Amino acid sequence: MLELYKTYLEVIDRYLNKCFEEQQPFIHCHAGCTACCEIGEYPFSRLEMEYLMSGFPELPAKTQKIIREEIKKLKLAKKQYRGRFMHKCPFLIQNKCSLYPRRGIICRTHGLASFEDKNGKCVIKLPECSKNGLNYSEVLENGTVSLERFRVYGVEAPVKHSLSLNYFEHEILKGVQGLEFGEIRPLLEWFTDAGE
């Protein structure tokens, strides 16, 4: 299954590269920026998790230990917290993703805007960093998306892409036999309290 996923990850990456090209006027991603890995829940499907962790044994023992300890700490903090637990990703070590080539689909979409169909209404979802003067900050007006501001950039229909896993499964990879993403959980929920 992982081999099949690796093949189709190339298809997903090509789709996402196209999204980045089309959204280029609003993208301010730069080397060393880790904003998207600093705060989130990072939903991963079972398949993505297996792929991510298949790279874990290849990490230096010291890095593995740091990640395990971080997961343990986060699990404990989550228990004591009520509500949606947003946190730094435990795989972010010294401002770099320690498993970058095997990162999840959510990680590959970091920084892009997307749309969601909510009861027949198209809702544009901007990346979190838009609030910090980064991607898409140009189209924010008092904290909400301004279509008028999109027009200033000559963009009439701002974002056409869905970035949900459901969309990837059913549209981008449609017809692919045997690829099962499985259950989706926030990253931390794939680990026991001992960080394993």
Q: Is 53 in the site for ligand SF4 (CB under 6 A)?
A: no
Tokens linked to 110: 């970091």
DSSP category for residue 23: T
* Member of 37, 126, 129, 139 binding ligand SF4 (CB under 6 A): 37
Tokens linked to 69: 């300890």
The backbone torsions φ and ψ at residue 144, rounded to the nearest 5 degrees and listed phi first, read: -120, 160
Query: Reduced to 3 states, what is the DSSP secondary structure of residue 144?
Result: strand
* Member of 89, 105, 129, 145 binding ligand SF4 (CB under 6 A): 89
Interface region with ligand SF4, contact rule CB under 6 A, candidates 4-12, 70-78, 90-98, 160-168? 90-98
- For ligand SF4, the closer of residues 104 and 158 by Cβ is 104
Distance CA 186, CA 73 (A): 16
* Member of 5, 26, 42, 136 binding ligand SF4 (CB under 6 A): 42
Q: Is 107 in the site for ligand SF4 (CB under 6 A)?
A: yes
Instruction: Report helix angle 2-22 to 46-53, nearest 10.
Output: 100
Distance CA 112, CA 15 (A): 12
Q: Is 92 in the site for ligand SF4 (CB under 6 A)?
A: yes
Chain residues that interact with ligand SF4, rule: CB under 6 A: 37, 42, 89, 91-92, 97, 99, 103-104, 107
